Amino acid sequence: MTYNLESFGGAGGNYDNSNAFASALHAIKDSGGGVLKIGKGVWRTGPIELFSGTTLDLDEGAVISFIPEPERYTPVWTRWEGVECYGMRPCVFASGQENIQITGKGAIDGSGEAWWKIASEKKGRPQTTPETPIEFELARLNPGFEKQPGGGGGRACQFLRPPLLQLFNCKKITLKDFTLRNSPFWTLHPVFCTNLVLSGLKVFNPHDAPNTDGIDIDSCEDVLIENCNVSVGDDGIALKSGSGEDGIKAAKPTCRVIIRGCTVGDGHGGIVIGSETAAGIHNVLAENCVFKGTDRGIRIKTRRGRGGKIRDLEFKNLVMENNLCPLAVNMFYRCGAKLEDGLFTQETLPVNDATPSIKNLTITNIKASGCRASAGFIAGLPEAPVENLRIANCEFSTDENSRVSPAESEMYLGLDEVDEKSVRLINVKNPAFEGVKVTGPGRAFIYG
């Protein structure tokens, strides 16, 4: 059965459609499934929840616009920066549901500017403890949050901004053709999901919008991402699997993922693995994609304490233009940690469950031009070097007129700096290079 929002009291313009959305979506739930059509116009609302059997169909010119008032986004059990906890309710949320579709040429808009302004103000002071009623409530619900790992998004003060669209423990999900934009935090975030198809999506956030990853696939299995266009303020398309002890305990890897035909513009990375890697990430194929102006192209980031086995990743037929660094593999990732934490020493430390590892990485038919910081950065751990790295039939050319330092190739701590924009390798075990051309720097490779 097909429903429209007006039948439940909905109206465009400045009207608050929260009750209309809730009534319509519960009617679909009660009838065992159906379609909610959203017509042309702006439909303002608070957070909405989807149920099994729901299709949300967005006409061209339709915009679901979320009201940026933090008190509306009441706490819900979720995963936030790799840790299961209570966080602010996502703008669009589904938990434990199946057979959900969102389709059409319309848009879902998170009204993120107000959220980014608050986040920047808190970080600028910096705020290190809860202050507002909702932050105190999240602190109460999350005992021990002070010791939980984070990536710098706001865990210390419990300003746990909502993602724009989160699917938690769901299966058989299809998202097709619509636009996601102006997210308060991570934009599209499936967690513990299976059988996902993401096709033809457009994901847009300003390049300076904090922590606004495009697509974050988090402890999910059997995922297809195809023909998507992403330009955001953080990583473009990222694969994750939980952080530290919490992610190790959950033991739910991300695996069997295909990414093809996608374009990524602004962002910290094109296709990214990590930095939340605790349960492992394996069996990933990324092919026929274009990264224009992203800070990094292929990006793998983790560190001691994150944990996880990263295995069997293949990247092929990729075009990269004007990146800082086209290929970055970084096991000294700094965000959310400090040098004094002891995570970044170049000494060989004992291996334990929280020691990440990277093995079986194949990179073929890459053309990267205008690399501003370096042609590549690959850094394993002394106790867990990168193993079975193969790079074949690739061309990397650097912009030697760029004044960007090679130190900007990746966000690392604890490593010495170099002067040349070469492919830099640290703690890499028996790498294999076949038909690799590096033009620009004096030396093609720097080993350390």
Catalytic residue among 234, 235, 246, 295: 234
Give a three-class secondary structure readout of the chain.
CEEEHHHHCCCCCCCECHHHHHHHHHHHHHCCCEEEEECCEEEEECCEECCCCEEEEECCCEEEEECCCHHHCCEEEEEECCEEEEEECCCEEEECCEEEEEEECCEEECCHHHHHHHHHHHHHCCCCCCCCHHHHHHHHHCCCHHHCCCCCCCHHHCCCCCCCEEEECCEEEEEECCEEECCCCCCEEEECCEEEEEECCEEECCCCCCCCCCEEEECCEEEEEECCEEECCCEEEEEECCCHHHHHHHCCCEEEEEEECCEECCCCEEEEEECCCCCCEEEEEEEEEEEECCCEEEEEECCCCCCCEEEEEEEEEEEEECCCEEEEEECCECCCCCHHHCCCCCCCCCCCCCCCEEEEEEEEEEEEEEECCCCEEEECCCCCCEEEEEEEEEEEEECCCCCCCHHHHCCECCCCCCCCCCEEEECEECCEEEEEEEECCCCCEEEC
Cα dihedral 45, 47, 50, 56 sign? positive
Q: Which residue is associated with the tokens 């929260």? A: 18
26 is annotated as an active-site residue: no
268 is annotated as an active-site residue: yes
Q: Mind telling me the catalytic residues?
A: 234, 268
